[in-house]
Amino acid sequence: MSDLLEIEHLRTYFQTEGGVVKAVDDVSLHVRQGETVCIVGESGSGKSITALSVMGLIEGPAGKVAGGKISFQGENLLNFNKSQLRAIRGKEIAMIFQEPMSSLNPVLTIGQQLMEPLIEHQKLSRKQAKERTIALIDKVGISRAEQIFGSYPHELSGGMLQRIMIAIAISCGPKLLIADEPTTALDVTIQAQILDLLRLFKDEAQMSILLITHDLGVVAEMADYVVVMYVGKVVEEGEVVELFQNPQHPYTRGLLKSKPVINQRLEELYSIPGQVPNPLELRESCYFHDRCEHCMDICRIKSPPLKEVAKGQKAACWLYEEAMNRV
């Protein structure tokens, strides 16, 4: 498998009234063809901003990609102009979000919205696009496709809308699908169906998926490779089985402890004690030190580098450095 997407030392910063927020701070990750890479972390970890950076969707004067490289099929997307990016979005790289409603136009029918990329990117005639659209609606598991074709978004359930978003996303046969919390707003049973659907299309088309989630159940089900982010940085990464069986970073261990159990009441969930630091008050240190039971002196004054700590597994934590120095 070759690398389809290579993110190298990405930095995406936001200028705020209080100062610069380094939402993504020196993040590198690779997605190979046919592979599902999950970025997992709490809200504010920079996982969505990483995805938006890839799509060229960091806009406005406040936010900007301040450094690094985002190579897709060997070309640096950061050098692309708006129209080059638009040509790639939807065709080669597609994206689905948590709230399908926010990505759909409420005054256009489902059919119109599905036909649009087919006409624009695939250069299909209206008639061909309509036939293909009905086939796509059917393919994502919605019955009565002809009737749905003429429906408006508000007439469909959340689960159906997410299926429609997937239909739009796969309509042009993208090589990479970026899915940002695609099942977070859905019921558990619908979540499982949506994940099944994503897996099906991934296998069918050898598509790669960059999946962003805070849900370790989703990671366990979907990921080949996992990247754990905390406050804009990668703190651990590795193959899913190794990472779950043998998490190395104290933060990953905490996340795995807090894995929700179906039907367990929300208040009873374990959550890592303490709070994510204020992004405007960060200084050189391990950003997890206030919440870490293993915190040492060095953790408060120096950022740990991301290093291989077990076969195929990397972590950014001074514990491993200390252990290595002791031998």
Q: Which residues bind ligand SF4 (CB under 6 A)?
A: 249-250, 286, 288-289, 292, 294-296, 299, 304, 317-319
Min separation Cβ 286 and Mg ion, Å: 23
**Residue 196, H or E segment:** helix 188-205
230 binds, among Mg ion, ligand SF4, none (CB under 5 to 8 A by kind): none
Cα separation, 137 vs 168, in Å, equals: 9
41 binds, among Mg ion, ligand SF4, none (CB under 5 to 8 A by kind): none
Using CB under 5 A as the binding criterion, the count of chain residues that bind Mg ion stands at 1
- Is 12 an interacting residue with respect to Mg ion (CB under 5 A)? no
DSSP 268: G
Burial call 64-77: b when 16+ CB within 10 Å, e when fewer: ebeebebbbbeeeb
Give the bridge partners for 38, in sequence order: 211, 226
Q: What is the chain's length?
A: 327
Contact 138, 130 (CB under 8 A): no
169 binds, among Mg ion, ligand SF4, none (CB under 5 to 8 A by kind): none
Write down the residue that tokens 């997307």 correspond to: 77
48 binds, among Mg ion, ligand SF4, none (CB under 5 to 8 A by kind): Mg ion
Sheet of 19-32: strands edge to edge? 19-32, 3-16, 63-72, 75-76
286 binds, among Mg ion, ligand SF4, none (CB under 5 to 8 A by kind): ligand SF4
291 binds, among ligand SF4, Mg ion, none (CB under 5 to 8 A by kind): none
Task: State which residue, 36 or 48, has the beta carbon closest to Mg ion.
Answer: 48
Task: State which residue, 14 or 287, has the beta carbon closest to ligand SF4.
Answer: 287
Contact 196, 222 (CB under 8 A): no
In the set 12, 48, 191, 213, which binds Mg ion (CB under 5 A)? 48
Task: State which residue, 169 or 319, has the beta carbon closest to ligand SF4.
Answer: 319
Min separation Cβ 296 and ligand SF4, Å: 6
Given the DSSP bridges, would you call strands 176-180 and 93-96 parallel, antiparallel or unpaired? Answer: parallel
Task: State which residue, 148 or 198, has the beta carbon closest to Mg ion.
Answer: 198
- Is 113 an interacting residue with respect to Mg ion (CB under 5 A)? no
Task: State which residue, 126 or 307, has the beta carbon closest to ligand SF4.
Answer: 307
Going from the C-alpha of 4 to that of each of 121, 145, 173, 175, the distances in angstroms are: 20, 33, 15, 8
The rounded radius of gyration (Å) of the Cα atoms in the chain is 21
Would you state the structure tokens that stand for residue 131, as one six-digit string? Answer: 């036939």
